[in-house]
Chains A and B, each alone.
Chain A
Amino acid sequence: MEPSDPAKFDRRKFLQRTLVAAGSAVALAPRLIGADANDSSAPAAVPIPVPATPAEAETSSVYQTFSPDEAAFVEAMVNLMCPADALTPNGVDCGLALFIDRQLAGGFGKGERLYRRGPWRHGPAEFGYQLPLSPEDFFKNGLAAADAASRRLHGRNFADLDPATGDRFLQAVAEGQVSDERLPLAEWFNELVYPLFNQACFADPLYGGNKDKVFWKMIGYPGLPAVNGLNMAKYRGKPFPGAAAPKSIEDFS
């Protein structure tokens, strides 16, 4: 997002406001209760910002694992990787950041189904993930390392880079041209971040991404129920009408 993009500025401001408001509420609450436990009007005195659009309310306010800084990084990243264009809304509005947050906050992020016994032998790429960190912690440590690299190379956090610089930075990370003293940044991006981005776009909307089945509509994947016994012959080699209006799990629940 360019600094001149009003949507981007609104979002960043909103995020900061939310942070300030939440921080104030937490800091104030004990003191207010201690001073006058009966003053029930006090908490209501803390100004609660009203989200500009419903989309904002459903995304930035419900992250389960991201801190505000982490959310800013991920939102900037998914908006860069999925800019608003004729094909889809921007990544945040497609639910991509929310999907990633939920995956990392859930079983996957906590290391479910991951063998986590030593000895630890971080080694050749062909053997896949070999670090003791849970995927959630690997994601967050990689994000911090990438942000540090962004400050080192470009003088500011990744979320504050203009889109062209941000894109070049991500390309460089993916190609292994940005290094961190300790954390394998290319592996972090290619083996964890990018698969999550891809899943966020194309998984069932049940998980928070692919909002309104926007990516399924984009490619013409019809989704459910996929009962195609008769369709095999009828639409073999022909456009499939159901591709224009895909159905998801929620549509059948």
Chain B
Amino acid sequence: MVIVGGGVAGGMVARQLSAAGIEVVVLENGGDHRQSAAARLPSQRDELRWSTHMGLMQDSATETYTWRHNRTDLARPLRRLAVFLPGSGVGGAGNHWGGQAFRWEEYDTELRTRLESRYGAAAIPADMPIRDWGVSYRELEPYYDLFERLYGVAGQAGNLRGKIQPGGNPFEAPRQHAYPQPPGEETELGRLFRDAAGNRFGYKAYPSPSALSPAAYTNPDGMKLGACQYCGHCDRFICEAEAKASPEVLLYPWLEKQPKFELRRFCHVLKVEHDPGAGQVRGVEYLDLLTGEVCRQPADVVVLAAFTLSNTKLLLTGGIGRPYDPGAQTGVVGRNFCYQTNAAISVFLPDRWINPFLASGCSVHLIEEFNDDNFDHTGLGFLGGGIIASGSGSGRPIAARTLPPGTPRWGTAWKQANADGYAHAGAVGFQGSSYPQRENFLDLDPDYRDAFGQPLLRITFDHRDNELRMAEYGAARMVEIARAMGATRLGPLEPPARPFDTRGYQSTHITGGTSMGRDPATSVLSPRLQHWDAENLFVVGASAFAHNSGHNPTELVGALALRLGDDLVGYVRRPGRLG
């Protein structure tokens, strides 16, 4: 069994297989971080090195992506990746994530059924291939639960076995167990948001579920997390306190103690070997970065668990499955590529000590009233929605200062505005869904190549009308709450831009490309993540999502990976198409 990619998904699959005594090799293209400057004080607290210069991220000089807004445009390479941030090395993006760990809505993996039953089949535009994923929340629930216990997720249950719990998310899907840890500390800004949302509008704000452990925690595997120090160096950073649940802390140290497990570092997988006649894959070809040699690793089963875009690239370079053609509406690989649709507004509260540096990647409150299909869309002219959140996420001074509109860009007045405003300002954010659109997709770029001589993956994406209307509605609700927080001033609304702007960070929550479903004509993977054209090839990660919601993807990735691990234990004993 070969797993490509030593991140969250690969680690979770490997955990289930190793527990069953199955031989596993994980091929990872980078090395360890745990003893590095990124994970040690004082060098960990270096915003320039790890955030501005993105010291933990995939090196754009080695591999990046090209982007165009429409398929008639010429694509440009993203020469210094900024808009989303793939990780590098063991743990992948699971090292530098912010830690927000959500279960998705109960209806999310059956979205077409939900929307058709509520609004009628005609409500879904023909150019939006929304579909059911072929898996239900009920099937995923035990895996969400296991993920939360492995990662020590801290939060307030909203729906315990069907009973709505005070202080939690009232829209939460029913859970069998409460979170293994209670929520962490609150921020001043989060409280102001919670109170404004509740007192003024009756919205039920709740603390973000968090994989940043509020206290020392030991998981079911005996692996330990430290206590969060609220240092504000979470997203884009590695936690030196090992309070952030991540593969390098919880998964791989445990896996490397298992007798039949091997993590092979610095191995960059170039190709999955496909035998189309047999409907099988035979193994993978990889470049050993320590010897410079191209090696072949035969395998009975291959699992692609690389960064979400790399999964699609490996299928395309391996010629496995038919590439999507948006004009002819044929093919599947690369379709249902989705991003997220975000907006934000600054709030200025000169009489309040916001202290934005007293923060963690999860110290926010949020509301779900306008997320996904939690509200009635009748007559609104769009589908989808998002969470509205506020709190302090980092306060890091290069990037996280908030200045009132009209402030000059330099000079004494600029300095004065920084001095007056830094401790007394923040933002409210909207993170919205991104539903699939026929014209948003992935393929191989014909002109640009990576350092290994392979084509770059080309992204064709723009925010389409549905998403912009959705974000306009969500942002209006966000602004209403921001006003009610007692702000003396608000910044200008920062809506999602069209044409899509790749220059600044938006989100690493990108999904699709190898999406799952019940119909081989429109999906790459079966509901059990088995490739339709290669029975012993499985793909796991956010690339398997058929749409993106307003929630963060990591916990769902983890739940799908744990379920796949269990499925593969059965598959190894009795190979064949999984039902």
* Residue from B64, B67, B227, B363 in contact with A115 in the complex, judged by beta carbons closer than 8 Å: B64
Contact size class for B? 35 or more
Q: Say yes or no for B46: interface residue by CB 8 A criterion.
A: yes
A249 at the interface (CB under 8 A from B): yes
In angstroms, Cα B259 to Cα A238, docked, is 53
Measured in the bound complex, the distance between the Cα atoms of B419 and A149 in whole Å is 34
User: Are A113 and B43 in touch, CB under 8 angstroms?
Assistant: no
Q: Which of B74, B82, B401 contacts A123 (CB 8 A)?
A: B74
Query: In this assembly, does A38 line the interface, its C-beta being within 8 Å of a C-beta of chain B?
Result: no
Per the 8 Å Cβ criterion, residues 39-92 of B in contact with A are 41-43, 45-48, 52-54, 59-61, 64, 67, 69, 74, 76-80, 82
The contact string, 1 if C-beta is below 8 Å from chain A, for chain B 23-48, is 00000000000000000011101111
Interface pair A121/B74, CB less than 8 Å apart: yes
User: What are the interface flags for B480-492 relative to A under an 8 Å C-beta threshold, 1 for contact and 0 otherwise?
Assistant: 0000000000000
A115 and B60 within 8 A (CB): yes
Separation of A253 and B44 alpha carbons in the complex (Å)? 12
Of the A-B pairs whose beta carbons lie under 8 Å apart in the complex, a sample of 21, sorted by A's number, is A82-B411, A87-B416, A87-B419, A113-B53, A115-B64, A115-B77, A121-B74, A126-B500, A127-B67, A199-B398, A221-B395, A226-B45, A226-B232, A226-B233, A227-B229, A228-B229, A229-B228, A235-B355, A236-B355, A238-B355, A249-B42
Which residues of chain B in 394-439 are interfacial with respect to chain A, using CB atoms and an 8 Å cutoff?
395, 397-398, 401, 409-412, 415-416, 418-419, 422-423
B375 at the interface (CB under 8 A from A): no
A112 close to chain B: CB less than 8 A: yes
B352 touches A (CB below 8 Å)? yes
A residues in contact (CB < 8 Å) with B? 80-83, 85, 87-88, 108, 111-117, 119, 121, 123-130, 167, 170, 174, 191, 194, 197-199, 202-204, 206-207, 215-216, 218-229, 231-233, 235-240, 243, 249, 251-253
CB pair A229 B227 closer than 8 Å? yes
Judged by a CB distance under 8 angstroms, whether B279 is at the interface is no
Contact of A219 among B418, B447, B502 (CB under 8 A): B418
- Tell me how far the C-beta of A129 lies from the nearest C-beta in chain B, rounded to whole angstroms: 5
| Contact status B410-A235, CB under 8 Å | no
Contact, CB under 8 Å: B46 / A206: yes
Top 4 A-B residue pairs of the complex, sorted by shortest distance between their CB atoms: A226-B231, A232-B185, A81-B410, A219-B422
- CB distance A220 to B43 under 8 Å? no
Instruction: Give every chain A residue within 8 A of B410 (Cβ-Cβ).
Output: 80-82, 170, 197
Q: In the bound complex, do residue B422 and residue A130 qualify as a contact, i.e. CB atoms below 8 Å apart?
A: no
Dominant secondary structure at the A interface: loop
Q: Which residue of B lies closest to A250 (CB)?
A: B42
Beyond known contacts A128-B82, A221-B395, A225-B45: 19 more, CB 8 A cutoff: A87-B419, A115-B80, A125-B503, A126-B501, A126-B502, A128-B80, A128-B502, A203-B48, A203-B398, A204-B45, A218-B415, A218-B419, A219-B423, A231-B358, A237-B353, A238-B353, A240-B355, A243-B355, A249-B46
Query: Complex formed: what's the CA distance from A218 to B401 in Å?
Result: 13
Q: Is the CB of B42 within 8 A of A225?
A: yes
Q: Are A219 and B352 in contact (CB under 8 A)?
A: no
- The answer to whether A204 and B80 have CB atoms under 8 Å apart is no
**Contact call B397/A219, Cβ cutoff below 8 A:** yes
Query: Quick check: is B357 within 8 A (CB to CB) of the other chain?
Result: yes
Q: Does B499 contact A (CB under 8 A)?
A: yes
